[in-house]
Structure 1
């Protein structure tokens, strides 16, 4: 972290103020290092009403920023607002508020204005920082008071010990933050401070970290309805609550809950100091979970961007470098998989999440993106694709799903070709109006050859030569003679199979076939005619798919 320079002319001889700065260093450090993970922003500095200006922006001169920014802050008032900083396209002063009221400003800067979502995250971070700094000031005052009381009254020794304990709790969690020890560090610190087993859970009750003896295996998980009721009660009471032999504090940086910190205390012996440690740990947990969530969202967006560029065609060296930065080996053999379908609830996001879970379950691939009403997966494994389709339907809980699998690609430049092949395999299913299934481009047979013809006009001429009269009749009468002929040929000339596929009566089918013979003038029983008509109807379906 950049060095902190005290504002010239600010309060300098106050023991409480100096202690406040020292105690608040962990909160400022966490805030300053978390800002870049929320977007293209950086911290210019922090202004404390009782501690002056602290420059943070790399390369900035504290005195220069102080002289230009501090007067602007005075003019803004307690609600904060935009400020001007040389060399920065956008700068904003966010108010630091705590239990004691207005505590200063958190000044952030960027080359251009962040999105509304990123600004919301910055406001949430500033709110938590203000609370932490307010607590730091309180602790500093309590420490100074404790020093006075220690020498004057033996009766207050217990209060002094409590204050020392509070400071010890703060200092221990400050080390967790500065050392970036994560969820395990938070659980370990709270266990060391209280002596009780500690669990860190996500919002849904899944164990994320444990410290202490007797970790249950498997870890118990409350029913969803009970869990939601407990979370609502914890938010409503605003302090640790007892639930099933445990003392719980929710990590809630905004209105929603992101995690739960649980102290295992079946005998209900935890006192005020343990509750304070639990609450303080929950505040640190809130900020850590929000930081992790922001990092995960950023990585997901970077993965989506990389997939989009690979499918559209991009510079190979650049794609490899970006994939390596994400820890992904793009130079392995891949297949592009295009999945189309829907859940019973008609929710595309639900379908996307179902595909993601199925891909993770069968280790199909972790690079995927929603595109044009489908989900595209870059798969580095070949699996039984029908099994993968069945897994998607299981995750959906019903609905529909069909899959097109592109040919293999060994280089980044081959992804667009594999994507086109997977899309064609999917469109051939649509054109054929058959049952949903998983089809690989390499299994399309004659459709693969027709799809690779460079001049579609050649396919059009073949279709017109053999099916032109029927197509003209269908267009004029709004009939389906070409489709009927295609099903009849694909069913090997079987009346029963064709009637079933078309959902028509045998007599209707016989009438249509008779009309086909009359209009086309062709003998459907002639082997050569049969072959050419089947090739022409498949070419017709290929054209439909290519135009779709």
Structure 2
């Protein structure tokens, strides 16, 4: 019969099967020493069975610990590892529920991280102040604790909300072990039963092993997170270096190819994924897309003082201001706006590099402008003072400055108020370039020389509009040089006298040519024979030329008409011609002088010009 015990051991039979062998032998009449030996064999077999059971349990535990250790190297998801640890601990300890908590030092509590076998959502959301309950005590002290019957164990600090959650789960026996990383308790791992029972040392040791693995998983997760953060920083820095290098290459290309501030703005906007506005020192837009440019004075002042970009709060998100400086001189301002987010340090350095390149471009542009201004100024002075009498050379010099002086030319001389001389000359020079002419300062006045339009005074009005747009005001005298560069000096003198007359009359802000001044020009100007001839030519020159070419009597008709008090019939009697002839001659005069020659003011100027003509003829 002893062989039956070996079969039962081999078949992993339950304990009851071993007892059944002895019972059957007694029923068969076995007794005495034979029955005792059978009972002894059963005792040995049961010890062997228990040893085998412990061995299998040990193997299962070691297998679970091995799988958990393997998970630590194969799984990067810390939540998945912790869930596997809690699940395996429940299985091996045959617990009704297992759970893992993590400490929140800021809040002074330990909260549920993972649960396995929980019945109520309230328990899954439980947070225990450190030192309360068994979990709070383990999480605070770092020592393992267990209780056979938690509800009746007075060693622990009970709280109503904790006991309520425990009652909801029907928890009785609890085993808790700490999670420790580098001597610091970061949480606890617990196993519970819903009945009163003890926890043998083997279960405590096993749960401690699982807790050690959980601590390693959490520490690895922390290290991986640090590594990921470091990798992200490295990638971000590498990207920033790449962006900075790209920006450097593009900005260098702008300089090498003679680009302007608009090209710099486009590069910075493209690299930093925003919009850029470039302003001059007075806040006027030089380049870039539209954007609010008000209230930047404080930011500009801070940027100038620090030499760095300054963040400003603007509608639509963060914006940044950087100044273009040449030493301590403020040349311009860059406003970067419309960004998807905040700029990093490397991107802000890219913006500042863009401001530096803007300063270089503005300095270069100013140097070129100053050089062109000197060249244009020399040419203008040569024209106005007749220093260079070679007309062909003057025309060629003008062409090199993109100016056209071969045909009739208008000369405008302006007295400017409200702007300094340099700024006024810049405004005039810009207009002169647009009109294919020259402009600058000469003898304390702003002078503009350009191809003459049909109405010469229109050039003077344009100059006034530009000056007003820059914040100033001006009075302008204009004159026409019909014979090319050689007559510009004479036209300048005529325009200057017109200006002086306007100023003397107090007609500031007006524009006039010699014809617009009439008699006042002779009375208030500094006049000599040339000025008288110019006055006569301006007022009645076309009529004199017509008589000289055709042999007509338009001048005599005009004199008779004025002498007759502007009455056609009386004029006809004085000339001994038919009134229709007088009407025809006066129509011809209107064609030559314009319809307004009959107006009283203009008529007086024309009559005086005829008198002076007769006097000069004598």
TM-score band by shorter chain is 0.3 to 0.5
Return the TM-score normalized by structure 1: 0.45
Return the TM-score normalized by structure 2: 0.40
CA radius of gyration, larger in: 2
